[in-house]
Structure 1
Amino acid sequence: MTATGVRVGESGRGRPAEVPARFARSSWFRRDRFGMFIHWGPYSVPARDPWLRSHERLGIEDYQFAVDGFGAEDYDPHAWAELAQAAGMKYAVLTAKHHDGFCLFDSAHTEYSSMHNGIGRDLVREFLDAFRARGIKVGLYYSLLDWHHPDYPHYGDFIHPERDNPAFADHQPDLESYRHYMHSQVKELCSNYGQLDILWFDFSYEGMGPEEWGAQELIETVRALQPTALIDNRLEADGGGPGSIVTDAPTDYSGDFASPEQLVPVEGIRAHDGTPVPWESCVTINNNWGYTAGDDLWKSPEQLITKLVECVAKGGNMLLNVGPDPRGRIQPEAIERLRAIGEWLAVNGESVYGAGPAGLDTPEWGYYTRTDTALYAHVLRAPIGPLALTGGVDKDAITRISLLGEGRELPMCDAWVVKSYPDIPFVQFGEVGHFTYPLPDPIDTVVRIEGA
């Protein structure tokens, strides 16, 4: 069962349910499947975490060393874009402003930005220009929180750095003033930088939600200025829950996609009526969003590839994060992994781009994905003997089975070893009579099945 109580594939064995018309704006997003998240800002200087001001209760003055030290001396967004393209990523989202309030763009409403801290550059504009030049769709992350703004709630807030500092016990937030500031900056991003493909807002929490953000007014502004831009669900939710996007009465600001964080949903995300909801799992490539010098817990290329496939098989996307260092350099370990993913996608991308759930039960050896033209078996674990295409594949409908990338046709097995399973199709990776062969790709061998 899904988190909303609906079993994937209930709409009919062999064909998944259609995505509702209200999500038509996200058609490209559901086709492209794989994007790059980029967390970059002054928090890369202490090299600990974008949340360090909150976790360590750092005041604005104590954080100033990070703002002063954030130099972007080696920032080359064209190199970033080349890497994203080599990784097979089709879109990218940059943190235009994170929770610390520091802006990577030229804003008329603050000097707390890359235009005034010594860099003197509009880093967002450079990012957009470089990625658009390579045909990569572009998005901007904008934090609804702001730990620098004087009118944002301080004392008693759930996560503000000064939440339990007695010196701020008498602080009186002016939410009307803050909303005006925040809405004005969103208008700048929507008006001054051309067409945006995604606006990634982050996030609602206890005491700070749609009413405090002025979410209805904000969404109307965004839709007027950027009518085709996709918006996530965090004007009313966080990474742990979907909000009204899965209900029978979604709000105007419920979003175009759900955004689970650091987790691939158990069986995808569906609305209460059982229809699919577009979603994107945002995940880190090691354990931290921003540059963290001591974090060596890098996910392997194999894990990242198979998790991307799992997302697609469950109807979702993967937004994979990198955290450049203060100079703008992406770590070699991240580069190595992204290029490895790209090499796999160069061969097997047909089973990911434009693909989605197969409407079949998940097999024990891996996953199925499906496009309009074929079914794809992602074989992650080698069988003993021929591979059983379990899960409800229609044996009689199959017209051809081949190894994706090579195009080599794979024979069906009807030998004595499978006679107990007359309704299940079995496929061999080698010649008939020799049943066990190593998988051609030990990470994920993709078998293309036509007709089924």
Structure 2
Amino acid sequence: MRLFFTFLLVTFCLNLSWGQQHNTSKTYVAPTDAKVQAKLAQWQDLKFGLFMHWGTYSQWGIVESWSICPEDEGWTQRRGPYASDYNTYKKAYENIRTEFNPVKFNPEKWVMAAKAAGMKYMVFTTKHHDGFAMFDTKESDYKITDPKTAFAANPRSNITKEVFNAFRKENFLLGTYFSKPDWHNENYWWPYFPPKDRNVNYDPAKYPERWQKFKNFTYNQISELMSGYGPVDILWLDGGWVRPKNTIDPSVDWQKAITFEQDIDMARIAKMAREKQPGLIVVDRTVAGEFENYTTPEHTVPDQPLDHPWETCMTMGDSWSYVPNDKYKSTNQLIQLLVKIVSRGGNFLLNIGPSPEGDWAPDAYQRLEQIGNWMNVNGEGIYNSRSVAPYAYKNIYYTQSKDQSVIYAYYLSDKEQVNLPATLEIPLDKINQVKKVSLLGSPEKLKWQYQGNKLRVQIPGKLQKNNNLKQAAGFKIEY
């Protein structure tokens, strides 16, 4: 069956990661719970995390969930032998689980690669919009551990538990991605009506008992994840169209299409989740208010620091989920993204989609290894850092230590090898004096002059070229 879908690559992988962009909420409400505040502060210091989109859709190498959504968008189009009839396609899609058998699944391999890259937290897709649970839910038989699923007989079939246990052992903060909409559940897409788009296909106000069943279903599944999988740090909720109608932003196209009230009762969910997981960060993304503890600009790096905690989520390849022969961003691109995001006070959540066999592509491991090599030299200006004006100057990006005694200036290279100028000019704002300037990873003493809010650093000839510096050079400025 998988061979039928190999040809989808050329047309289907294009723009997959860009098609479902989520707008960032315009307002922010800071949490008042002291434990949540502390966990949020801890998370902000970590800066670099791993995201993983993985489900039965990986078997066909197609976009996650969206091909069963009856919307006429580039990323929702159906292709393959069942594409001509929606109901036939959806039935075949839901039957992918009989093929999905990731026998190479080894989360310990993933965690060691992520740790070596300098990642400090992880968010895993426990359930995407299609409703297939990558955990042993008691609320549905559409799950990885059900006997109809090929992987169910494997002793590690409860994939979410195995992933969480592996990453927890290496002291990662753990995030549970969970989709609020569930396109498999009969109380979200009621079979009596055909689905029209991504939204609920009936009016919850007209059928309140049915909607209440869906609310209870959602509550119960989240309760399972909060009580049966050890300590969890982040509840990362996707599907922002499931929201109170009074929170809709009419300036956002996809929110204008929300016809019905879809209040899932986040107060009840958050209360339960935090009783089980004290200090839990809740990210009800794009739904501004007390349950969006940080915002999640998707494939976007803000031009200026934001006035609240935030995280850019982005794919390493072109797609969120596995696509054969996906094109991965270069190490240069990834490190520059990390530096730019951190210079504006954000975190970088970098996504890798595991294959149907349960492993990452060799390119993904290579990128992580190279990022790790760079972080081993330059990470001190990334972790626990803060944004500092002027934030950026040409190809130089700034961070600051928490105690405000050090500024780090990262000189980004457009090539893998860094070539430095003989004199590097680094503008600095509101600094009385500079005590010491050094190049991270180099024992060479640097000569410098600070005058008129500008630091001029003299670069010795042997450091200008052939200096073994890759991607970006980090200058440590103590003042």
- Superposition TM-score, scaled by structure 2 size: 0.77
Q: Choose from 221, 233, 243 the match for 2:272.
A: 221
Per the alignment, residue 159 of structure 1 pairs with 198
Aligned to 2:106: 76
Indicate if the aligned counterparts of 1:87 and 1:338 stay in contact, CA closer than 8 A: yes
State the number of aligned residues: 402
**1:25/1:256 contact within 8 Å kept:** no
In the alignment, structure 1 residue 52 sits paired with structure 2 residue 67: yes
Letter in 1 for 2:266: A
Using the alignment, how far apart are the partners of 1:28 and 1:252 within structure 2?
Answer: 19
Question: How far 1:127 moved relative to its partner?
Answer: 0.7
Q: How does 1:410-425 map to 2 (within 5 A)?
A: 410-413=446-449, 422-425=452-455
- Is the 1:233–1:259 Cα contact (8 Å) retained in structure 2? no
Query: 1:203 offset after TM fit, Å?
Result: 2.1
Residues of 2 paired with 1:335 and 1:278: CA distance?
29
For residues 107 and 69 of structure 1, the distance between their equivalents in structure 2, rounded to whole angstroms, comes to 20
Tell me which moved more, 438-447 or 125-134. Answer: 438-447
Aligned-residue offset at 1:442: 4.4
Moved more, 126-135 or 33-42: 126-135
Are residue 257 (structure 1) and residue 294 (structure 2) matched?
yes
Show the counterpart of 1:25: 39
Counterpart contact for 2:59–2:356, Cα < 8 Å: yes
Question: Aligned match of 1:119 in 151, 161, 185?
Answer: 151
Please tell me whether residue 388 in structure 1 is matched to residue 416 in structure 2: no
**Matched-pair contact (CA < 8 Å) for 1:19–1:277:** no
The residue aligned with 1:147 is 183
Aligned AA (1:37): F
Is 1:180–2:216 an aligned residue pair? yes
1-structure distance, mates of 2:25, 2:133: 37
> What TM-score results when the alignment is normalised by the length of structure 1?
0.81
For the residues of structure 2 that align with 1:337 and 1:435, how far apart are their CA atoms? 25
Secondary structure of the structure 2 residue equivalent to 1:370? strand
- Residue 115 of structure 1: how far off its partner (Å): 0.7
How far did residue 157 of structure 1 move?
Answer: 4.5
1:156 to 1:401, Cα distance in 2 relative to 1, 3 A: same
- Counterpart of 1:335 in structure 2 is 365
For 1:173 and 1:265, the matched residues in 2 are separated by 43
Q: 1:211 to 1:147 in 2, by over 3 A?
A: closer
Point out the more displaced range, 216-225 or 25-34. Answer: 216-225
Q: How many Å separate the matches in 2 of 1:42 and 1:5?
A: 34
**Separation in 2, partners of 1:342, 1:407:** 21
- Residue 351 of structure 1 pairs with residue 402 of structure 2: no
- Can you list the C-alpha shifts for 1:142-193, whole angstroms capped at 9, x where unaligned? 1111111111046454326x979xxxxxx99921111111100000111111
| Structure 1: runs of 5 or more not aligned | 7-17, 165-170, 238-242, 245-250, 270-275, 415-420
SS at 1:380's partner residue?
strand
Aligned equivalent of 1:418 = none
How far residue 422 of structure 1 moved from its aligned partner, in angstroms, is 4.7
Where 1:283 maps in the other structure, the secondary structure is strand
Residues 388-409 of structure 1, C-alpha deviations (whole Å, 9 max, x = no match) = 1114263x51000001122433
What residue is the counterpart of 1:34 in the other structure? 48
Deviation readout 1:90-115 (Å, 9 max, x if unpaired): 01111111111111111111111111
Aligned to 1:292: 323
Output the CA distance in 1 between the equivalents of 2:438 and 2:231.
41
From the two aligned structures, give the one with the greater strand fraction.
2
Q: Distance in 1 between matches of 2:161 and 2:348?
A: 24
Deviations 1:232-291 (A, max 9, x none): 132xx2xxxxx43xxxxxx332x221011111122232xxxxxx2110110001110100
Partner Cα separation in structure 1 for residue 377 and residue 151 of structure 2: 41
**4+ long deviations beyond 6 Å:** 3-6, 18-22
Query: 1:36, 1:4 → 2: CA distance?
Result: 23
The one-letter code matched in structure 1 to 2:398 is Y
Q: Is the 8 A contact 1:285 1:299 kept in 2?
A: yes
What code does the residue aligned with 2:335 have? I
Alignment CA distance shift 1:213-1:76 (3 Å): same
Question: What one-letter code is carried by the residue in structure 2 that aligns with 1:223?
Answer: R
Q: 2:422·2:459 contact (CA, 8 Å) conserved in 1?
A: no
Q: Distance in 2 between matches of 1:290 and 1:426?
A: 46
Counterpart of 1:376? 408
Name 1:443's counterpart in structure 2: 471
Confirm or deny that 1:427 pairs with 2:457. yes
